Chains A and B, each alone.
Chain A
Amino acid sequence: MKRIKRANFRLHEFIAESLIAAVAFTSFIFIFLILIFVFRESIPLVIGKAVDDVGNVSLRALFSTTAWIPVSNNPRYGIWPLVVGSIKVTLMALVIAFPISVLAAIYTATLAPRRVKEIMKPTIEILAGFPSVVIGFFALMVLASFFQYTLGLKFRLNAFTGGVALSLAVIPIIYTITEETLNSLPKTMTEASLALGATKWETSLFVLLPAATQGVFAAFLLGLGRAFGETMIVLMATGNAALSSWNLFEPVRTMSAAIGAEMAEVVFGDAHYNILFFIGVCLFIFSFSLNAIAEFFLKQRMMKRFKGGA
C-alpha cells in the first residue's frame, strides 16, 4: 500500500517537474526561434542575393553609401546616418541619465533617512514601468516645445530632445542596479569607514562607490543597451530625418526607429526587407554582447563577495 502511494506521488512529481521544465524551455526556444528567424531573413543580403526594383544590393553598399533613402526611384541604403543617429541619441541619454541615477542611488542607499528612501525608491522604479509611448508623447508635446522655446532651436524634434526623453527610460535601470549593488555591500565596510573618522558622504563617495564599481559599470552597460534598442520614444521625439551630422540639435533617425517605421510597409523578400532585418541583427548582437558583459561583471562581483574578498 505504502509503495503504491509513493509511486503515485512520484508520478505527480514527475509530471509537475517536466511541465515546469517544458515551460522554461519554451521561453528558451522562443528566443532561439526569433534569433534564427531574424538571422535567416538577413542572409540574402550577406550572401549578395538581395534584390530590389532597381537591381542587386550588396552588403558593402550599406557601408559605402551615405544616404538612407529606401523608397525612391533610385533607392540608397546607407546605414551610416542611422548608426550616427543611434549613437547620438544614446550618448545624450546616458550623459543625462548616468550621473543622475548613480547619485540618486548613492543617496537612497547610503544617505537618505528611511522615510525618504521609502518614497523615493518606488517612485523612481515606477518610471521603469512607464509605457515608452507615454514618455514619447510627453517629449513630443511638452519637452520639444519647451526646448525649442528656451534654447531657440531651429528644429523642434531633434537628437537632444529625444535623448532627454530617452534618459527617463534609462534612469530607473541604472538606478535600480546601482542601488542594489550598494545595498549588497557588507555593513562592516560602512562601520569601518565611519570608525576611522570619515564623514557619511565621504564614506559613500570614496569607500562604498569604489567598492561597487563593477555593479555600476554593469548598470551602465544595461542602460546603454536599453537606450540603444528603445524604439517608440525616439520614433516620436527625434524627427526621423536620416542625417549623418554630429550636431545634437538636428533631427535624427535611429536604427531602431527605421525598423519601427518601415517594417510595416516593405514588400516581403525585397532588399529593403532584408536590410531592415540586417539592422535588427546588428542591434541584437550589440545588445546581446552588452548584456553578456554586464552579466559577467555582476557575477564576478558576487563571486568575490561569497569568497569574502569584498
Chain B
Amino acid sequence: MKKRILNQIRVIAVALAGIMLFVAAAKKTITIKGSDTLVILAQRWAEKYMASHSDVVIQVTGGGSGVGISALINGTTDFANASREMKKSEIDKLKQRYNTLGNEIKVAKDGITLYANAANAVDELSLAQIKAIYLAEITNWRDVGGDDAPIVLYGRENSSGTYVYFRDNVLDGNDYSATMQSLPGTAAVVNAVVKDKNGIGYGGAAYAEGIKVIKVKKDASSPGYAPTAASVKSNQYPIARYLYMYSRSKPTGAMKAYVDWILGPEGQELVTKVGYFPVK
C-alpha cells in the first residue's frame, strides 16, 4: 500500500516536472535590469503585461542604471533600465563587443524630487540653493528660510543614474560634499528623510511618500514648482528628465511587442499610476 502511494507520488512528480519544463520552453523570457528609479514602474509593467500575455515571462531587477548598462554590455540582460543617457564610453564598449550603438527608448518622464522631512519649514528652494546645499556651502536650514538646524545630506550610491544626473544638472558637474550619506536605493533615501527632521534627499517622484516635497525654482525670482504632471509636461519643472530602456540592437519579436505595449495607452497609463509622467 505504502509502496503504491509512493509510486503514485513519483509519477505525479515526473509529470509535473515534465509540464514545467514544457511550459518553460514554450515561454519567451525577457530580462530587464537597471535603474532603481525605474524599477517600481518596470515591475508594474511586467505584471500587467504578463497577466494578458501568458506566453511571455519578464524578469525585472534593480541595482542602479550603471549596473543595468554594465549587464547590457556584458550580455546578461535584454533591456537595461536607465535614469540617465548612456555615456560615450559605454556606447564604445557596446560597439566593440556587438558592433551596435545600442537602441534607446524613452519610456517615461520623471521630475527629480527634493524630499524633506514633513516637519521642515522650508517650502521651496532655487536650483542655486540646492547646489549650495549639496556642495556644503549652505549647512544650516536657517540660511534658506527654515529653522536654525544643521542640514543633513542624503543621496544615492555612485552606481545610481540619479546620482550622476543630479551631479551633472544640479551641481553643474561638481562633486557632492563628502558629508553626504549615500544610501542604497531611493526608498532608503526617503526612509532616512522620514526619520530625520533635518534631512534632505533627492530621487524619483514616484517614491515621494510620507515626506514633504520641496518646490523647485529655476532661479531666485521665478516661481517654484512641484513635480506634477502639468509642470513636468510643460517643462516648467526645472529638473525633469527622461527614463530610458536600452537594448543592444533594435528590439524584434517579443521584445518589440513589449516596448510597443509600454509606449501604448495601457503602458503609459501605468506610468501615471506609479507616479511618473507619460512621455508624450
Q: Do A and B bind each other?
A: yes
The reply to whether B157 and A261 contact each other, CB–CB distance below 8 Å, is: yes
Bound CA span A6–B70, Å: 60
The reply to whether A265 and B158 contact each other, CB–CB distance below 8 Å, is: yes
Q: How far is the CB of B148 from chain A (nearest CB, A)?
A: 13
**Is A72 interfacial (CB 8 A cutoff)?**
yes
**Is A157 interfacial (CB 8 A cutoff)?**
yes
**Is B89 interfacial (CB 8 A cutoff)?**
yes
Q: Which of A242, A253, A265 has the most CB of B within 10 A?
A: A265
**Is A267 interfacial (CB 8 A cutoff)?**
yes
The reply to whether B64 and A240 contact each other, CB–CB distance below 8 Å, is: no
Q: For A155, list chain B residues within 8 Å (CB).
A: 152, 181
Given A239-B181, A262-B158, A267-B93, residue A156 in contact with residue B66 (CB < 8 A): no
Across chains A and B, the number of contacting residue pairs, with CB separation under 8 Å, is 82
Given A53-B89, A156-B196, residue A67 in contact with residue B173 (CB < 8 A): no
The reply to whether A262 and B159 contact each other, CB–CB distance below 8 Å, is: yes
**Is B91 interfacial (CB 8 A cutoff)?**
no
Q: For A157, list chain B residues within 8 Å (CB).
A: 181, 192
The reply to whether A240 and B157 contact each other, CB–CB distance below 8 Å, is: yes
Q: How far is the CB of B144 from chain A (nearest CB, A)?
A: 18
The reply to whether A235 and B184 contact each other, CB–CB distance below 8 Å, is: yes
**Is A74 interfacial (CB 8 A cutoff)?**
yes
The reply to whether B158 and A264 contact each other, CB–CB distance below 8 Å, is: no
**Is B150 interfacial (CB 8 A cutoff)?**
yes
The reply to whether A240 and B182 contact each other, CB–CB distance below 8 Å, is: yes
Bound CA span A266–B67, Å: 8
Given A71-B163, A71-B164, A265-B70, residue A243 in contact with residue B93 (CB < 8 A): no
Bound CA span A51–B48, Å: 45
Q: Is the interface of A mostly helix, strand, loop or mixed?
A: loop
Bound CA span A144–B194, Å: 13
Bound CA span A264–B180, Å: 21
- Chain B interface residue count, CB cutoff 8 Å, equals 33
**Is B251 interfacial (CB 8 A cutoff)?**
no
**Is A81 interfacial (CB 8 A cutoff)?**
yes
Q: How far is the CB of A9 from chain B (nearest CB, A)?
A: 34
Q: How far is the CB of B176 from chain A (nearest CB, A)?
A: 8
Bound CA span A98–B89, Å: 49
* Binary interface encoding of chain B residues 166-208 relative to chain A, with 1 for a CB under 8 A from any of its CBs, else 0: 0100000101101111111000000010011011000000000
The reply to whether B181 and A251 contact each other, CB–CB distance below 8 Å, is: yes
Given A154-B152, A267-B70, A267-B93, residue A243 in contact with residue B179 (CB < 8 A): yes
Given A72-B175, A251-B179, A262-B159, residue A156 in contact with residue B195 (CB < 8 A): yes
With beta carbons under 8 angstroms apart, the residue of A53, A70, A240, A266 that contacts B181 is: A240
The reply to whether B158 and A241 contact each other, CB–CB distance below 8 Å, is: no
**Is A134 interfacial (CB 8 A cutoff)?**
no
**Is A20 interfacial (CB 8 A cutoff)?**
no
Nearest residue, chain B, Cβ from A243: B178
Bound CA span A261–B157, Å: 7
The reply to whether A73 and B173 contact each other, CB–CB distance below 8 Å, is: yes
Q: For B173, list chain A residues within 8 Å (CB).
A: 73
**Is A183 interfacial (CB 8 A cutoff)?**
no
Nearest residue, chain A, Cβ from B151: A154
**Is A145 interfacial (CB 8 A cutoff)?**
yes
The reply to whether A262 and B157 contact each other, CB–CB distance below 8 Å, is: yes
Q: How far is the CB of B138 from chain A (nearest CB, A)?
A: 16
The reply to whether B70 and A69 contact each other, CB–CB distance below 8 Å, is: no
Q: For A69, list chain B residues within 8 Å (CB).
A: 175-176, 178
* Binary interface encoding of chain A residues 116-130 relative to chain B, with 1 for a CB under 8 A from any of its CBs, else 0: 000000000000000
Q: For A154, list chain B residues within 8 Å (CB).
A: 150, 152, 198
Interface residues of A in 45-73 (CB under 8 A from B): 53, 67-73
With beta carbons under 8 angstroms apart, the residue of B67, B167, B180 that contacts A241 is: B180
21 residue pairs bridging A and B, Cβ less than 8 Å apart? A67-B175, A69-B176, A71-B158, A71-B163, A144-B195, A155-B152, A156-B152, A156-B192, A156-B196, A157-B181, A240-B181, A240-B183, A241-B178, A241-B182, A242-B178, A243-B178, A261-B157, A261-B184, A262-B158, A264-B67, A265-B64
Q: List 15 extra interface pairs beyond A251-B179, A265-B70, CB under 8 A.
A: A71-B163, A72-B167, A73-B173, A154-B198, A156-B152, A156-B195, A235-B184, A240-B181, A241-B179, A261-B158, A264-B66, A264-B70, A265-B67, A265-B158, A267-B70
Q: Interface on B for A, CB 8 Å cutoff? A: 63-64, 66-67, 70, 73-74, 89-90, 93, 150, 152, 157-159, 163-164, 167, 173, 175-176, 178-184, 192, 195-196, 198-199
In the A-B complex, the 6 residue pairs with the smallest Cβ-Cβ separation, listed nearest first, are: A265-B159, A265-B66, A239-B181, A71-B158, A240-B182, A241-B181
